Amino acid sequence: MPAFHIWTLGCQMNVADSLKLAAGLERLGWHQAPTEHAADLYVVNTCAVRQHAEDRAYGRLHELRRRRERGERFQLAVMGCMVGPRTDDLQRRFPQVDAWARPQQFEPIIALAGSARDASEGEFWTDTFATPTGPTAYVPVVHGCDKFCTYCIVPLRRGRERSRPVADVLREVQHLADHGVREVTLLGQTVEAYGHDLDEHADLATLFEGIERTGGIARTRFLTSYPKDMTDRIIDAVADLPKVCEHFNIPVQSGNDAVLTRMRRGYTVAEYEERVDRIRMRMPDVALATDVIVGSPGETDAEFAHTLALLERLEFDVIHVAAYSPRPGTYAYREQPDDVPHDVKRARLHAVEAVHAASAERRNRRLLTRTTAVLVEREQDGRASGRTRGGQLVHFDGAGLIGQLVDVTVDQVTAWSLQGRRAGDLTLAVV
Ligand code: SF4
C-alpha cells in the first residue's frame, strides 16, 4: 500500500486541510507513512502569512530537493497559502515539485496519487471527514475571506467567503462525535461571517444550536472572530447555550483609529470596545484573546502607545502579537512602505509581550482555588493536561482520563498555564 506524509505549517485551517487531504488519500487506499523517509508522496502544506513561515517552507523544499538528488524516490506536492494564481516564480525555483495545489483544491495531489477524480466529483470531499487524532477536532465552516485588510495575503490565496451547508457541518460533527471527539472548534478566517452566502437562513448561532443536539459533543469553540460580523444573536447564543465555551479570539490589531483605517480593518477602536463590553456584560467570566500587529506601515510612537493603552484597559487573557511583515501581492506591500525600523518593531513586540504576561497572570489568578471542568487532552508520566472552558491550559496528576471532563481545583497559576488537583483529592502541601 503506498504511503504519504504531510508536513504542515501555519494556522488551524491548514491543520484541518492536511487532515482532510489525509482522509481523502486514505479513502483512495493510501496510508500514513510511519516516518517521513518512508513516504512515497511527500506533501508540504505551506503558510504565507509571515515571512518566517515562508522561510521555513523554503528550507524544507531545499532539503527535499537534496534528498531527491541523493537518490531518494518520492513524489513531492506543495499546497496551502504559498500557492496562488501567480506563483510562477515559486514554481521556477522548485521545478522538482510534481504537483501544486491551492488551499482546499486537492485535485492535483489526488491526481498525483493516481486517481482520476477531479473537482466535479465534489461529493467525494463532502463525505470525506478527517480522522480525529484525539478528543478535540477542528471543523472548517467558512472558507476564504472577503475583508481584504491591506496587509493580509489570505483573501488572495484562500479566495472569497464560502460557507459549508449546515447539514454538511453537522454531519461532520456527528462523525467526529461517533469517533470519540468531545470538543469541536468551528473554523473560519472570520467565523461569524458563516452563512452570509448561503441560501438557507443560517448563521454561526444556527451551527451552535445544531451541535447542542449532537450527542457525544460536550463543548463547542469557534475561531477567529471579526468584530463587525459579531451580532448580538451570536453573543447571546454563546452566553445561553451550555455547550458553547465562553471564549472569544477577537483580533483588534491596533488600538489607534488611524492605523485601523490604514489597515482597512473596517471598525474603530470604540466599535471594538463596544463589542467587548457587550460580551462581558452577558458573560462576566468570559475569556478573551486578541491579535495585535506592531510596526505596521507608518505606525508612530503615539499610535503604538494607544495600542498599549487599549491592551491594558481591556485586560485580555491572551494576546497574540506579531511584528508587521510585508506580504508580496497585498495592497500594503505595493502602497504602504514598510518604514518602521526593525529594532523599533522588536521593542514594540516586547512591550506588548510584557503587557500580555502581566494581564494573563492577573486573569489566571482569578481562577485560584476555584474548581473548574477540564477536558483532558494529553497524559504523560502520570500527569494529565487539558483546557478549561476559557481555554486555559491546566496540568494535574491523573491517568486514563483522556477525553473525560474532570473537575480540577486550581492551586497554582502562571501567565501561561495552571496547576491543580482533582476536586476531592487530598492535598499534602499548601502551595
Ligand atoms: S479579516 Fe483581514 S486579517 Fe483576517 S483573514 Fe480576512 S483579510 Fe486577513
The string of DSSP letters for 182-234 reads -EEEEEETTGGGTTTT-SS---HHHHHHHHHTSTT--EEEEE---GGG--HHH
Protein residue whose Cα sits closest to atom 4 of ligand 1: 189
C-alpha–C-alpha distance, residues 57 and 28, integer Å: 27
The predicted model gives 181-205 an average pLDDT of: 96
pTM for the model stands at 0.92
C-alpha–C-alpha distance, residues 62 and 68, integer Å: 10
- Cβ(298)–Cβ(336) below 8 Å: yes
Which atom of ligand 1 is the closest one to the Cα of 224?
4
CA of 34 from ligand 1 middle (Å) equals: 36
Q: By CB neighbour count within 10 A (0-12 exposed, 13-18 middle, 19+ buried), where does 222 fall? A: buried
CA of 121 from ligand 1 middle (Å) equals: 30
Q: What is the pLDDT of residues 304-324, one digit of tens each?
A: 999 999 999 999 999 999 999
Query: Taking the mean position of all CA atoms in its chain, how far away is CA 28?
Result: 28
Q: What pLDDT was estimated at residue 290?
A: 98
Angle between the N-to-C axes of helices 301-314 and 269-282, in degrees from 0 to 180, rounded to the nearest 10? 10
The predicted model gives 89-96 an average pLDDT of: 87
Structure confidence at residue 90 as a pLDDT band (50, 70, 90): confident
> In this model, does residue 428 exceed pLDDT 70?
no
Proportion of the chain in helix, strand, coil states, percent, rounded to 5? 35, 25, 40
Structure confidence at residue 430 as a pLDDT band (50, 70, 90): very low
What is the CB < 6 Å shell around ligand 1?
Answer: 145, 147-149, 152, 154-155, 189-190, 226
Q: What's the CA angle centered on 146, arms 7 and 261, to 5 degrees? A: 110
- Cβ(251)–Cβ(207) below 8 Å: no
Residue at grid coordinates 502551595: 431
- Cβ(428)–Cβ(406) below 8 Å: no
CA of 193 from ligand 1 middle (Å) equals: 12
- Identity at 33, one-letter amino acid code: A
* Substitution candidate for ligand 1 out of 149, 226, 296, 327 with most atoms within 8 A of CB: 149
Preceding peptide of 214 cis, ω within 30°: no
Structure confidence at residue 421 as a pLDDT band (50, 70, 90): very high
Structure confidence at residue 87 as a pLDDT band (50, 70, 90): confident
CA of 20 from ligand 1 middle (Å) equals: 23
**Matching fold, domains 134-365 and 371-422:** no
Q: What pLDDT was estimated at residue 278?
A: 98
* Substitution candidate for ligand 1 out of 50, 154, 333 with most atoms within 8 A of CB: 154
CATH number for region 134-365: 3.80.30.20
* Substitution candidate for ligand 1 out of 143, 145, 223 with most atoms within 8 A of CB: 145
Q: What pLDDT was estimated at residue 425?
A: 59
> In this model, does residue 119 exceed pLDDT 50?
no
> In this model, does residue 350 exceed pLDDT 90?
yes
Q: What pLDDT was estimated at residue 121?
A: 54
- Cβ(135)–Cβ(8) below 8 Å: no
Q: By CB neighbour count within 10 A (0-12 exposed, 13-18 middle, 19+ buried), where does 41 fall? A: buried
Which atom of ligand 1 is the closest one to the Cα of 226?
1
Which atom of ligand 1 is the closest one to the Cα of 189?
5
> In this model, does residue 429 exceed pLDDT 70?
no
CATH number for region 371-422: 2.40.50
C-alpha–C-alpha distance, residues 291 and 226, integer Å: 11
Spell out the domain ranges in the chain. 3-118, 134-365, 371-422
Q: What is the pLDDT of residues 16-56, one digit of tens each?
A: 999 999 999 998 899 999 999 999 999 999 998 888 999 99
Q: What pLDDT was estimated at residue 123?
A: 64
268-306 exposure pattern, b = at least 16 Cβ within 10 A, e = fewer: ebeebbebbeebeeebeebbbbbebbbbbbebeeebbeb
Q: What pLDDT was estimated at residue 206?
A: 98
The yes/no answer on whether domain 3-118 falls in CATH 3.90.550.10 is no
Protein residue whose Cα sits closest to atom 1 of ligand 1: 147
Which atom of ligand 1 is the closest one to the Cα of 152?
8
Average model confidence (pLDDT) for the chain?
93
Q: What is the pLDDT of residues 121-147, one digit of tens each?
A: 556 777 888 889 899 999 999 999 999
